[in-house]
Amino acid sequence: MASNKEALALVVDIGVGMSQTAPGFDSPLQITSDILQMIVQRKMFQQSKDELALILYGGDETNNDLADENNYQNISVVFSLSPANWHLFEEIQKIKPGNNPADLIDAIVVAADHLRRETEGKRGYVAKRVLLFTNAATPFNDHSLKVILDSLRLQDITVDAIGPSWGQEEEDGDENDRPDSPTQTNGHNEDSASARPTTNGHHHHRNQKKPLTPQQKTGIRIINDIVNTTEGSLFTFREALGMLSIHQSKTVKPTATKYIMQLADIKLHICTYIQVKDNKPGIFRLKKVYARDPKSEIKVDRGRYTKDEHDEEIEKEELTDGFRYGTTFVPINKETLDDMKYQSEKCFSVIGFSDANMMRRSLYLGDTVYEVIAEPTYEEEAQTFTGLVQAMYDTNTVAIVRKCFSERSSPELGFLRPHIAHDHICMYYVKLPFAEDLREFNFDNLDVIKRNLPSAEQLKTVDNLITTMDLSHADRGREEAFQPELISDPYIQRMFQSIAQRAVTPDEPLSLSNTIMEMNDTLIQSIARKSKRTLDTVNEQFILRDTNRRQKIATGEALFGNNDISAKKARLEDNNEEFTTDSTSFEAQAAAKKKAAIKTVGTVTPVEDFKILIEQGSPSLTDVCKQMCTLIFDLINNSHGDSLFEKALQCIQCLREICIDKLEPKIFNDFEVVLKAHSSDIDGRKDFWKKIVDEKISLITSEECIESNVIPIEAKKFLEEETAIQALNNAPINNEQDDEEEDLFDLI
Amino acid sequence: MSLLDQNWGGAGGADDEAQDDNQQGRQIVTTRDGTLMLIECTPEMFESLSNTMESDSSIDDNNELETGFQLVMRACQSFYQSKIISNDKDLSGIILYGTEKNKNTFDFNHIYILHELAQPSAERIMQLEALSNKNTYKKTYNDLFGSTQSKNYSLNEALWTCSNLFANSPQRLTIKRVFIFTCNDQPHASNLTLERQAKQRAKDLNDVGIEVEVFPILTESITKFDYKKFFQDVLMLSDDELELRNNQAPTGRLNELLKLVYSKEHKKRAYCTVPFSLGETSDGTPLQFSVSVFNMVRPCPKPTKIKLDMKTNMETKIVTKHYLPETAEILMPSDIQYGIDVSNRRVLFDADEIKAIKKFSDPGFQILGFKNISCLLPHHYVKPGHFIYPDEKYVEGSSCLFNALLKKCLEKQMFILCQFTARRNTPPRLVALIPQAEEINKKDPSDRIASNGFHVHYLPYADDIRTLPKNDIPRITDDKVDVFKNIIRGLKFKYRPDRFENPALQILWRNIEATALNKDKPEEFDDLTIPNVENQNKKVDKYTTEIKQMFFPPDYVMGVTKRAATKRKAEAAATSTSEKKRKPDDDVNVEAAARNNSLNKLTVPILKDYCKEKNLKAAGTKKQDLIDAIEKHLTITT
């Protein structure tokens, strides 16, 4: 199969005009650099086969195949056409403003020539494209424009131009012709994407609006001409970022799953396409590597062992499948298992129709919305399908469907909702629950209790709040704000940023942004301003009293129990909660992190590390003890058999001594309580607790340390008493976790 | 089903605390119920059942159950079986009184603990089956408990035994119940002391939170059961309740026990309880209330397959070890980093950083604004949502503000747009909080169809929404659409979410049960998801025929007929037809190519299809592996 890669020349104006800007605003070049980085990142992360070249013009250097003494000066091909890589990324980061004149027409010619040379004789390019980044501030020569245009057309090269603005908010008509607009259901309003995530995340692009110079006006006219002739498009910076997400969605090729839809006697060929599904880029799959030698990947061994005190390993051949029936284990061999499976045929059968109002959104199940259309090859069937959609639409009904993907899969229940737009007709399929999937919760009517009844005055305040915070027309141009179609997943953005940042500057700590908040900063601020008054009134009229119960839990947890409260984490935390990000704080953190890297209790010589750190006096005693506690848990949890128990015991003894010494018995005592609870209910860790008892490592008593409020007899009892043992519970861990996204990042 | 499912006491539930703790990475507190069956074994229990009892017990398929004892054994069996599906962590036990032999810690006479308080098992169920079966029950009974029955028991001692079993339960139990099965409405009629002791004991049980329930058994000689004589005091019934009880058919609740229920019981507790933040006032005070988040709909998990040791049929466990391939050195978590390879560069993170990347803000709802309900488009959905209800435990006054928001959102047809972080290290999602008013079934005021609160509906991000080509087929005219409307009318029904059971799940449950209990065939299951086409046709035949005539040529077979590629656009037709009739042609091609030694000129999909068709196993997924497999296959067969 021929690949369908694109050859893309990034042509960037680095001339004088691009770096001019009023103080406090980002220069067009800065914004360009961000957009370029994002393009390159995406190409790399998607392992795109597209090839890119980077051509700068307006700088000091001249490096291109066409250059001679008088012609094509100050144009430099910095990166020749090839798939995106880090080298290109670094070249972009290196871009510095130049102060030479350069001719944008010349630059386009060099780019076209470069594309021709590099693609000639090679196959697999579906498109050749020049992306021109400029604000058209420097003069150029257009005497041979016509020839050049012809040549571009001949070579089938498209030119897109990207700049701060193209005059009076031009709504360039040809945008609508692009078949892959992201907002198919809702028309086009890329303009309302008030801002888009960028490489540097915490950057706020404030891009200065100032009147165009006559030179710019001419430039824009010519660029317009080129773009139109080559069937390209003009984008503002903001739109360009929007375009990037188009580039991204292109990588998922829609694939149809075909069914025969049955309705009574009517059978129709249909296709289903994924319309909405949680997107987890494949690139996020993490490899486990050895910290001291990141080149070596770690292998995982998952051995099966008998579940008794012997811990004998069992060979694969000696295992059989089975189920639990109460406390009975029911072995079932593979053949029987297949027989037991529910047999179904592939199907898509309409069970009946129901009122669309019955389909509460809270019933939706599954992780996908499918678009369903008739298979176009079967013209008569497609018409029948259309008739059905129209009739369902008119009567406001949905169809309840039994759908089964294949003989091997379980049938599911779902419903079809008709959808008709002026240029589109389809149905949407969403899964519905079976009776077993419902959880019958019942909640009392809130009005039953008098004090839950808001007064007329209170209701009026809330009414005001809704009005001031109404987003339905809150965006620029009175469009709906925060449209799902226009908000990028902040986690994906952040992951991309982090990967790029770490790849380029491996030693720096990550700076973590929250793109939803940042990109919509202006809007959020303006709503916050508008609603402040009303919120004040809400605060006056509604009495909300914090019972402080949550705090108690939080502090208890902060001490122990949760591994993620490690020292490092604490430092990385919470940058993101502020809407505006302070760059100095990042630097401070960077310094802090580097320093701290030498200052943690390691697994190799924990006792020594711990003692040194205590002596140093920083980080604080509590912090170091916390680290030690975490480490002890790690040792116990990761010990195979009792191999690490000895080390853990030493650590505990050392921690105990230090705590007595430093008059902090509570740290140790709290720790031991957690340890006891922790050890006595987990298989195999009970042995460790036994060791503690054998070694008589008790709570620190008031006799040993005056700060302690534990009397010796209590301490003795503590060791002797067994905790209420949670009976061996070999259930596969609680099913309630089903909602947690269990991907690879949920570590430990 | 209330007897099976008593895990839920009122709204808001005390259990969500446990869930909160869980969320904070603490101990999971599993809540369990304990049920003890206390069964009378006097001669009357072995008389034939009264007519009322017999005819009412619909469960008795072939007149197996002649006596009260058998009936009770069957009820216990069903209870066990249902428990295994619904909540196999719950504990149950069986105590007989009035037996010849005795077995209990206090050496009380005529009291026999058949099953200690424990999770149900196949062995127990099969034993109960033997005790209810017409042919075996007598012998099994005599062997186990002795052949004679005695009335010299003390109900006080029997109840004490129950209370003792609960006290010694290794697990913490949230609900403790004793079900008494008896045909004797005044067990100690002749001995006032015993009667007084028994009533006192019942009161003691009640004081420590053990519920007592009575299931009267009526026989030929005992046709009436008067609660007033004795059990009113045991059950602590008010006079009104007594009246109600005495007028009830005695079989009602027993039948509930006898019915086999294949349905999982869900833990009724909050998914999490989190702050709901409205923003800040002008002096910077954060304005927050508290809500509990519930999961109303979640896929019911299938029974998990486990791996058993073939030699012992016992459970096994997995031990995961990370090691270096070269040295086989076992590694600790601190030795592990996480790498992503991008463009030949390995980018490294440590575990904490991966977590930090996922962490955006503390759990909770952060309001962004309000939007009109119409802004929600049909395809705006990514994953199952939640339901929120105010919580007064963390912030008092939450309910009032919540209620005001709910009322106004309903009135103005608005939803609340929020950023929602469910757990500590979960990235945020945009959610629409859709207001829900209370809905009560008009015919039955006790049937609440929907509770008031907000539905939490997850919205997709731009990254989740795919771009699909437009499908613009010419619309058909209204008169034709009307025919379709007739079909819709004919096949319309009132959808209720609890109407359809999951066929795959039900079949699996029944099959596991049948295997565990050595049954020949599993319990039957009626799959309602398969539409009855015959019935459908009866209703709409007229219109479907009309449609066929309207749109299709006379010889057309819907869903089958291939397009005669006439005026189709070349490319569209090419793809679909080539796919349809590729198979025989390709086989020939592949074989011909193999003979010419030109297999590597064919594409991987063709080779793969061929392998699949001929059931060939390739050594790998590389092209050469496929070619090797095909060549090997052809030299053998030709």
Q: Which of B575, B513, B592, B560 is closest to B80 using CA atoms?
A: B513
Residues A227 and A374 in one domain: no
pLDDT greater than 70 at residue A578: no
Total domains in chain B come to 4
Q: Which of A485, A499, A543 sits opposite B462 (nearest CB)?
A: A485
Q: What is the mean pLDDT of residues A38-51?
A: 83
Residue A466 resides in a domain: yes
Residue where a domain terminates, one of B222, B247, B265: B265
User: Looking at the structure, do residues B253 and B273 belong to the same domain, yes or no?
Assistant: no
List the single best residue of A324, A573, A626 to mutate versus B (max B Cβ within 10 A): A324
- B570, pLDDT greater than 60: no
Which of A322, A340, A358 is the C-terminal boundary of a domain?
A: A340
Shortest CA gap B213–chain A (Å):
25
Dihedral of alpha carbons A472, A475, A480, A481, sign: negative
The Cα A563–Cα A143 span in angstroms is 69
Tell me the CA end-to-end span of chain A in Å, nearest whole number.
Answer: 43
Give the number of C-alpha atoms closer than 13 A to the C-alpha of residue B141, restricted to the C-beta side. 25
- Please write the tens of the pLDDT for every residue from B132-165: 988 899 899 999 998 888 888 999 999 999 999 9
B584 belongs to a structural domain: no
Q: Which burial class, exposed, middle or buried, applies to B479 when counting CB atoms under 10 A from its CB (0-12, 13-18, 19+)?
A: exposed
Runs of H (alpha helix) within A445-582: 456-468, 490-504, 515-519, 521-541, 549-559, 567-572
Using a CB-CB cut-off of 8 Å, the residues of chain B touching A329 are 306, 308, 313-315
Residues A520 and A636 reside in one and the same domain: no
Which residues in B lie closer than 8 A to residue A182 (C-beta atoms)?
462, 465, 467
Same domain, A22 and A142: yes
- Tens digits of residue pLDDT in A340-352: 788 888 999 999 9
CA neighbor of B590 nearest in space, from B578, B605, B569, B575: B605
Q: How many CB pairs under 8 A join A and B?
A: 753
Pairwise CB contact (< 8 Å): B336 & A288: yes
Report the CATH number at residue A612.
Answer: 1.25.40.240
The answer to whether residue A489 scores a pLDDT higher than 60 is: yes
The answer to whether the beta carbons of residues A520 and A195 sit under 8 Å apart is: yes
Between B409 and B48, where is the model more confident?
Answer: B409
Q: How confident is the model at residue B561 (pLDDT cuts 50, 70, 90)?
A: low
Residue A135 CB contacts under 8 Å (≥ 6 apart), including other chains:
A13, A17, A18, A28, A163, A164, A216
Q: Is residue A355 part of a domain?
A: yes
Q: Which residue of A has its CA nearest to B430?
A: A484
Among A436, A577, A724, beta carbon nearest to B264: A436
- Say which of A326, A469, A725 has its CB closest to residue B84: A326
pLDDT at A747 over 50: no
State chain A's mean pLDDT as an integer: 77
What is the structure's pLDDT at B56?
Answer: 52
**Per mean pLDDT, which range of A214-218, A253-257, B20-24, B520-524 is the poorest?**
B20-24
% residues pLDDT > 70 (chain A): 80
Whether residue B287 sits in one domain with residue B238: no
Give the distance from residue B155's alpha carbon to the nearest chain A alpha carbon, in angstroms.
Answer: 30
Q: Given B230, B247, B265, which residue is the final one in a domain?
A: B265
Q: What's the pLDDT score for residue B58? A: 55
How much is the average pLDDT of A466-491? 84
Same domain, yes or no: A96 and A225: yes
Give domain status of residue B495, yes or no. yes
Q: Does residue B442 carry a pLDDT above 90?
A: no
**Which of these ranges, A225-234, A530-539, B21-30, has the smallest mean pLDDT?**
B21-30
Per-residue model confidence as pLDDT tens digits over A218-240: 888 888 888 888 888 888 877 77
Residue A747 included in any domain = no
Residue B416 lies in domain: 269-466
Q: What is the number of structural domains in chain A? A: 5
**Position A427 confidence tier, pLDDT thresholds 50, 70, 90:** very high
Asked whether the beta carbons of A716 and A722 are under 8 A apart, the reply is no
Mean pLDDT of all residues in A577-587: 36
Testing the interface with B: which of A392, A410, A443 to mutate, by most B Cβ within 10 A?
A443
Residue A541 has pLDDT above 70, yes or no: yes
Backbone angles phi and psi of B155, in degrees to 5 = -65, -30
Asked if the Cβ–Cβ distance from A327 to B118 is below 8 Å, we say yes
Q: Is A597 in the same domain as A716? A: yes
| Among the partner residues A283, A489, A677, nearest to B461 by beta-carbon distance | A489
pLDDT digits (tens, 9 = 90+) for B214-267: 999 888 888 888 898 999 989 888 888 888 888 877 677 788 888 877 888 777
Q: Select from B422, B441, B466 the last residue of a domain.
A: B466
B263 contacts on A by Cβ (under 8 Å): 435-436
Q: Could you tell me if residue B22 is inside a domain?
A: no
**A122 and A83 both lie in a single domain:** yes
With respect to residue B594, please indicate whether it lies within any of the assigned structural domains: yes
Cβ within 8 Å of residue A584, ≥6 positions away = none
Question: Where residue A154 sits, what CATH number does that domain have?
Answer: 3.40.50.410
What's the pLDDT at B110? Answer: 92
* Claim to verify: residue B245 and residue B319 sit in the same structural domain: no
Domain limits for position A31? 5-167+211-247
Distance CA B145, CA B41 (A): 10
Please tell me whether residues A491 and A599 are part of one structural domain: no
Mapped to the 3 state alphabet, what secondary structure does A371-383 carry? EEEECCCCHHHHH
Q: Please check whether residue B629 is in contact with residue B616, taking contact to mean a CB–CB distance below 8 angstroms.
A: yes
Does B607 lie in the same domain as B494? no
Verify whether the Cβ–Cβ distance B371 to A471 is below 8 Å.
yes
**Residue B321 is part of a domain; what is its CATH number?**
2.40.290.10
pLDDT reported for residue A185:
34
Q: Is residue B533 part of a domain?
A: yes
Lowest pLDDT segment from A4-13, A174-183, A471-480, B82-91: A174-183
Token pair, residue A59, equals: 């700088």
Residue A173 pLDDT class (50, 70, 90 cuts): very low
**Residue (of A311, A315, A314) closest to A641 by Cα position:** A311
Banded pLDDT at A270 (limits 50, 70, 90): very high
Confidence at residue A707, expressed as pLDDT on a 0 to 100 scale: 78
B199: distance to nearest CA of chain A, Å? 32
pLDDT score of B93: 95
A196-206 per-position pLDDT tens digit: 333 343 344 44
Residues B496 and B527 in one domain: yes
In a domain, B581, yes or no: no
CATH of the domain at A490: 1.10.1600.10
A466 with B414: Cβ contact below 8 A: yes
Give the full edge-to-edge strand order of the sheet including A287-290.
A293-297, A287-290, B336-342, B345-349
Assign A123 a pLDDT band (cuts: 50, 70, 90): confident
Bridge partners (DSSP) listed for residue B371:
B415
Residues of A in contact with B414 (CB under 8 A): 466, 470
Question: Does the structure show a pLDDT above 60 at B441?
Answer: yes
Residue B62's pLDDT band (cuts 50, 70, 90): low
Residue B625's CATH number: 1.10.720
